[in-house]
């Protein structure tokens, strides 16, 4: 039995311990916002946060995250007086019109929000080092702009 919290909710799943978190989220819990891209941690489309750290869920067996707090894109919005409000990162993504096809952006947003949580004012080298996700549409110039808009106001 795999036990962990997802977006604050306790989950208990009768699944194989080596099932990657990605497929537990998508096919067992129906949380489709986390995306499958490569299956080998090479693209970052499946990035979620485990205890606040960015993790590539396609290669993370559920046995490795037993008892942890998992946050997915569905949990990124902030609860303000009972209603959901987009986080500052999500708002910046709209402000800068970042997504194109949008498929990689859940993973991108989870990686960026983890980065900014740990380092509110990253320089270019720190951004490059932390955000290694692939965006096939090439939204990188806007991603950098959006991150910088957040770091200067942080």
Partner 1 sequence: MKINRRRFLLGTTVVGGGLLLGYATTRPSKHRVANETAGSEPFLTTWLRISEDNTVTVIVPHSEMGQGVHTSLPMMAADELDADWDLVKVEQAPATDLFANGVLVKGFAESLGVSFPRFLDGLASSATMKVAEIMNMQITGGSSSVRFTGELGMRAAGAAAREMLVKAAAARLDVPETELSTSLNYVHHEASGRSLTYGELASDAARFEPSSKPKLKEEKDFTLMGKSIARVDIPAKVDGTAAYGIDAAIPGMLYAAVKTAPVFGSKLQSVNAEVALSRRGVVKVIELENAVAVVADNYWRAKQALASLDVQFAASENDQVSSSSIYAQYDEALEGELNEDVAEGDAASALASAETVVEATYRVPYLAHAAMEPMNCTVHFHDGKCDVWTGTQDNLGIRGRVASVAEMDENDVTLHGFYLGGGFGRRLPTDVNTIDQATLIAKHFDVPVKTLWSREDDMQQDYYRPAVTSKFRGGFDANNQLVAWQNHYIGKNEPAEAAHTPYSIANKDIAYADSETHVPFGAWRSVAHSQHTFFLESFVDELAHRSGQNPYQFRLNMLADKPRHAAVLKAAAEKAGWGRNLPEGHAQGIALQESFGSIVAQVAQVSINSDGSVKVHRVSCAIDCGRTINPDTAASQAESGVIFGLTAALYGEITIENGRVQQSNFTDYEMIRLHDSPEIEIVSVDSGDALGGLGEPATPPIGAAVANAVYILTGQRVRELPLKNYRFTAAPVEAAV
Residues that bind partner 1 in the complex, under the rule CB under 8 A: 16, 19-20, 23, 26-28, 30, 32-40, 42-43, 45, 72-74, 76-77, 86, 90, 93-94, 97-106, 109, 127-129, 131-144
User: What's the min distance (Å) between Cβ of 113 and partner 1?
Assistant: 11
Using an 8 Å Cβ cutoff, are 60 and 4 in contact? no
Write the DSSP string, 36-64: -S-SSSSS-TTEEEETTEEEEGGG-BGGG
Using an 8 Å Cβ cutoff, are 92 and 116 in contact? no
User: What's the min distance (Å) between Cβ of 94 and partner 1?
Assistant: 6
Tokens of 18: 């080596």
User: What's the min distance (Å) between Cβ of 45 and partner 1?
Assistant: 6
Q: Which is nearer to partner 1, 3 or 32 (CB)?
A: 32
């Amino acid at each position: 039995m795999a036990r962990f919290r997802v977006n604050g909710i306790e989950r208990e799943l009768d699944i194989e311990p080596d099932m990657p978190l990605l497929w537990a989220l998508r096919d067992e819990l129906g949380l489709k916002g986390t995306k499958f891209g490569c299956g080998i941690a090479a693209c970052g489309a499946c990035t979620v946060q485990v205890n606040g750290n960015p993790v590539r869920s396609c290669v993370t067996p559920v046995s490795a995250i037993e008892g942890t707090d998992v946050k997915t894109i569905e949990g990124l919005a902030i609860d303000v007086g009972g209603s959901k409000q987009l986080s500052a990162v999500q708002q910046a993504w709209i402000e800068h019109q970042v997504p194109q096809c949008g498929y990689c952006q859940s993973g991108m947003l989870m990686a960026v929000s983890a980065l900014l949580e740990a380092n509110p004012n990253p320089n270019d080298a720190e951004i490059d080092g932390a955000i290694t996700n692939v965006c096939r549409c090439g939204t990188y110039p806007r991603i950098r702009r959006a991150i910088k808009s957040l770091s200067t106001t942080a």
